[in-house]
């Protein structure tokens, strides 16, 4: 049997990149996102080009019903690799966002990740094999709003889970991408910040993180520049992190 991967947020960006890369490695796929049209287009492409099977699951992971739909797939069928990638940013800061908006974002970026991860790795451990990839962000090292807070939660959760599964045949990896060339910033209505050299392609992030996951690394930071930044961040005073994060957030809102 082919290995089978479930990818959330599969309709675009990194999720689409993971799906295409895994299909090229002869994985059957379960594609999860809110946009059914995009998922079905991707599934048709994968099945036509690669000959692997691609199932479509339409689910909104900010809702209880959406999480339950995906959890049911995990608990009733074989998933060899789970990629928790679904996510989005908010156009406004903490003070301008409604509490419900912050709750929904945290549910997608952290709550759903925890629940689906635990459901998957328990079954993987019982089978004696499997892998989990949770997409966090370099933003987890900053103080840039609820997005950063949720991504830090996912990073710590994933590292803790990797520690509990140390020595088992189940690998657990948190991925910390920096700026990636997707439609993320376009959807927020802001220009891509910073110089061109800070931007990574989807292929770079997917290739590096899948390689690290297969090697059993608990944390994957694609791009040598970002790996260096992560090392330096440990020595930067939090006051400076707050200053830089606030300035960056304000500049983005001004652009919008």
Active site residues: 147
* Alpha carbons 139 and 146: distance in angstroms, whole number: 10
* Alpha carbons 58 and 35: distance in angstroms, whole number: 7
* Alpha carbons 24 and 26: distance in angstroms, whole number: 5
Q: Is 250 exposed, middle or buried (0-12, 13-18, 19+ CB in 10 A)?
A: exposed
Contacts of 209 (CB under 8 A, 6+ apart): 133, 173, 175, 177, 220, 222
How is residue 213 written in tokens? 């996951």
* Element counts in the chain: helices (H) and strands (E): 10, 9
């Amino acid at each position: 049997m082919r290995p089978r991967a479930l990818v959330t947020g599969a309709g675009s960006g990194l999720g689409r990149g993971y799906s295409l890369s895994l299909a090229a490695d002869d994985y059957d796929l379960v594609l999860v996102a809110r946009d059914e049209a995009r998922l079905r287009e991707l599934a048709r492409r994968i099945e036509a080009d690669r000959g692997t099977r691609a199932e479509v699951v339409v689910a909104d992971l900010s809702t209880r019903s959406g999480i339950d739909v995906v959890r049911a797939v995990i608990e009733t069928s074989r998933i060899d690799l789970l990629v928790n990638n679904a996510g989005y940013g908010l156009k406004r800061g903490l003070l301008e966002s409604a509490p419900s908006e912050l709750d929904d974002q945290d549910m997608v970026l952290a709550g759903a990740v925890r629940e689906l991860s635990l459901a998957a790795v328990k079954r993987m451990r019982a089978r004696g094999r499997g892998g989990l990839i949770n997409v966090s962000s370099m933003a987890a090292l900053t103080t840039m709003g609820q997005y950063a807070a949720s991504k830090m939660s996912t990073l710590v959760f994933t590292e803790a889970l990797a520690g509990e599964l140390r020595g088992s045949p189940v690998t657990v990896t948190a991925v910390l991408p920096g700026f990636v060339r997707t439609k993320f910033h376009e959807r927020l209505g802001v220009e891509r910040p910073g110089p061109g050299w800070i931007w990574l392609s989807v292929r770079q992030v997917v290739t590096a993180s899948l390689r690290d996951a297969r090697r059993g690394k608990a944390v994957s930071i694609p791009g040598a520049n970002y790996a260096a930044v992560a090392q330096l961040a440990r020595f930067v005073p939090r006051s400076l992190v707050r200053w830089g994060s606030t300035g960056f957030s304000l500049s983005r809102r001004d652009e919008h």
